[in-house]
Amino acid sequence: MKQNVIVFIATIFLCNLSAFGQKGLDKLRNHANFEWVTDTLEMNMTLYYEKNSYAEKNRERLKERVSRHLINTLGFVGVESYDNPIHYFIVEDRGRMEILLGRTINGNADPKNNYVTGIFSETIKSVYSNHELFHLISMNVWGYPKTWINEGMAVYSDNAWNGRDLYELSKYFVENDKYVSIGKLAKRLRKYDSMVAYPLLGGFVKFIDDTYGRETIKLIWTKGRKSLKRHIGKSLYDLEQEWLFMLNAMTDKDTNSTK
């Protein structure tokens, strides 16, 4: 009897959570300030863009690029397919994004509500990235991690930051007194300039993945950084020192493009 009650309560909870997610998604789909045109892509993805927008006028290029990033992201996460629906809302500028979400950003991901947002215009093409798709897919496949490794892996999924190599850019920050320790970023990421913090984290998790493999990344993702000492005999600080040593060993020729 007790077990049946627990199952019943869990079922109600999951139903309510699903309903909440649907409500959040419908809020965007039915937003009074947007007249959406929709397109359907493979793997159960729906694109939403505004009527007469840059996206509608360039929809074939948009669809090809988003499809490419979806495939890239699946490969990076290590899955062949993704069964959950993905809803991709695309606007023309940060002003429209603020009206849609209440925040002036280039894009975001909401894994619980199964949607991502981005900008597609002549001047801003944040949809030309794996970043938000990585957040959505990885958090539903691997679980919900700490923010620092989530953002680091999202940056690493593109293997660049604004077109710059992650290792080279990280070395540039070290050599120009802009470096922030991984420990500080792990504790209070939002305190630091994202244009420095995000590529540093991207470079660091790339180093872990290159050196210790994806299983170590997943270990940190699912169990936290404190699990490292027990499983590989090294702390996050130890890995950071190894990464800094590697960056220091890079030659000037390797870093010319960032200076």
Secondary-structure percent of the chain, ordered helix, strand, coil, rounded to 5: 60, 10, 30
Residues 30 and 137 in one domain: yes
Q: What is the pTM of this model?
A: 0.88
Rg, the chain, Cα only: 20
Instruction: Single out the residue in 82, 113, 141 at which a domain terminates.
Output: 141
pLDDT value for 194: 97
Task: Kindly report the CATH number assigned to the domain that includes residue 103.
Answer: 3.40.30.160
pLDDT value for 6: 38
pLDDT value for 254: 55
DSSP state of 191: G
Is residue 5 in some structural domain? no
Residues 103 and 157 in one domain: no
Residues 163 and 253 in one domain: yes
Q: Mind listing the pLDDT tens digit for each residue in 151-210?
A: 999 999 999 999 999 999 999 999 999 999 999 999 999 999 999 999 999 999 999 999
SS3 category, 82:
coil
Is residue 6 in some structural domain? no
CB of 100 within 8 A of CB of 117? yes
Domain count, the chain: 2
Regions of the chain with pLDDT less than 70: 1-22, 252-259
pLDDT value for 251: 75
pLDDT value for 24: 84
Q: Mind listing the pLDDT tens digit for each residue in 40-53?
A: 998 899 999 999 99
DSSP state of 179: -
pLDDT value for 252: 59
17-44 exposure pattern, b = at least 16 Cβ within 10 A, e = fewer: eeeebeeebeebeeeeebebeebeeeee
Cα 110 to the chain's mean position, in Å? Answer: 10
In terms of Cα–Cα distance, which of 235, 250, 258 is closest to 181?
A: 235
What is the residue whose two structure tokens read 């790339």? 206
Q: What is the dihedral of CA 166, 210, 243, 237, to 10 degrees?
A: 120
Is residue 9 in some structural domain? no
Containing structural domain, residue 58:
24-141
Residues 108 and 182 in one domain: no
pLDDT value for 43: 85
DSSP state of 123: S
CB of 147 within 8 A of CB of 118? no
Is residue 18 in some structural domain? no
Instruction: Single out the residue in 95, 122, 141 at which a domain terminates.
Output: 141
